[in-house]
Amino acid sequence: MATILRGKDILRADHLTLDEIETIMVTAVRFENAMRAGDRLSNMAGKILATLFYEPSTRTRLSFESAMLRLGGQVISVADAKGASSAAKGETLYDTGKMIEGYADVAVVRHPIAGSAAELAEGAAIPVINGGDGAGQHPTQALLDLYTIRKEKGRAEDLTVALVGDLKNGRTVHSLSMLLANFGTHFYFVAPTALAMPPEITADLRRRGIEIVETADLREAAARSDVLYMTRIQKERFTDPAEYERLRGSYVLDKALLSLAKPGITAMHPLPRVDEIAREVDSVEGAAYFRQANNGVVVRMALLTLVTE
Ligand code: CP
């Protein structure tokens, strides 16, 4: 195994070099092949993963825990970190990091405030992985998204990808756009004006020479894209419920819309979905979102191994 990522905190997609990204992808493929062959894996035997989730999660938490167990390691966690950890007594994330380093070899944290994973990492000497920090970043989701795009399309280079929905608050699209920029992706950013991609991200991508079309027209984007990446309107980030009601359901992918899309288009979604993709799409060949969620296990097996080896 390569040692390029040893000891590294995984906090933001734009902190990963191309070499590091390739190492994670290659290692994930190796784990996928090993699992398919029924090999017994023990890369993490004797090691402990701590999961601290201050916000709800199904996929990120379970796939990290599954990854650790499949690698022969063990998991400790706080069932509801917000209510049941000492955060409820006022403990800082920095201090929590100081504690965790004595209990585990690697930690995954999810938190409602952007920058919180970095605060925990500052206190902890062990590698800390950001499992989603508010409307900030979700780098491991972006890595499994990249892995999925490579599997579904056979390549990452020279693709047109439409990111659709709540681009303002959606941490998955923040991280994914930064990661795909390494591969020269052409983007459609499809969102209502109120939920547009943060201008600092768009400006940074353009500075790197990335071609971006910002539009509210999903049909145009679907007709020209190789990948349609739908996202949920992030209800929990709205301070005004009426504004959420106005914007929910802005974009729905159904079979009628798919009939107008570029032939062979791949539909992705980080999940959970609310009403952004009709169930009738699930049986379509290009509907990759459940395969995408499953890919999270091997990508997270790769990450846990690489940062702790
Ligand atoms: N995609 C994702 O982060 O899902 P969870 O919120 O269920 O972890």
Compute the distance between CA of residue 81 and CA of residue 92 in angstroms, rounded to an integer: 12
pLDDT tens digits, one per residue of 206-259: 999 999 999 999 999 999 999 999 999 989 899 899 999 888 988 999 999 999
Ligand 1 centroid from CA 292, angstroms: 12
pLDDT at 280 over 60: yes
Ligand 1 centroid from CA 161, angstroms: 21
pLDDT of residue 156: 96
pLDDT tens digits, one per residue of 3-45: 799 999 999 999 999 999 999 999 999 999 999 999 989 999 9
Task: Give mean pLDDT, residues 53-58.
Answer: 95
Closest by alpha carbon to 300, among 13, 3, 32? 32
Instruction: Determine the atom of ligand 1 nearest the C-alpha atom of 61.
Output: 8
pLDDT at 82 over 90: no
Greater confidence (80 vs 136) lies with: 136
pLDDT of residue 128: 98
pLDDT of residue 183: 97
pTM given for the model: 0.96
pLDDT at 205 over 80: yes
Say if CB 204 and CB 179 are below 8 A apart: no
Tokens of 142: 């972006």
Q: Roughly what angle, to the nearest 10 degrees, separates helices 171-180 and 139-153? A: 60
Compute the distance between CA of residue 197 and CA of residue 166 in angstroms, rounded to an integer: 8
For residue 144 and ligand 1, the question of a CB distance below 6 A is answered with no
For residue 202 and ligand 1, the question of a CB distance below 6 A is answered with no
For residue 57 and ligand 1, the question of a CB distance below 6 A is answered with yes
Distance of alpha carbon 195 from its chain centroid, rounded?
A: 19
* CA torsion, ordered 147, 211, 135, 156, to nearest 10 deg: 0
pLDDT at 80 over 80: no
Say if CB 279 and CB 254 are below 8 A apart: no
pLDDT at 51 over 90: yes
In Å, how far are 111, 228, 292, 296, 303 from 270, measured between CA atoms? 17, 12, 8, 10, 18
Instruction: Determine the atom of ligand 1 nearest the C-alpha atom of 55.
Output: 6
pLDDT of residue 234: 87
pLDDT of residue 86: 76
pLDDT at 1 over 60: no
Ligand 1 centroid from CA 61, angstroms: 8
For residue 141 and ligand 1, the question of a CB distance below 6 A is answered with yes
For residue 59 and ligand 1, the question of a CB distance below 6 A is answered with yes
Task: Give mean pLDDT, residues 145-154.
Answer: 98
pLDDT at 81 over 80: no
Res. 184 pLDDT band, cuts 50 70 90: very high
Closest by alpha carbon to 188, among 200, 173, 175, 171? 173
pLDDT of residue 60: 98
Distance of alpha carbon 202 from its chain centroid, rounded?
A: 19
For ligand 1, atom 4, the nearest C-alpha belongs to: 59
Compute the distance between CA of residue 172 and CA of residue 141 in angstroms, rounded to an integer: 6
pLDDT at 89 over 90: no
Compute the distance between CA of residue 232 and CA of residue 137 in angstroms, rounded to an integer: 15
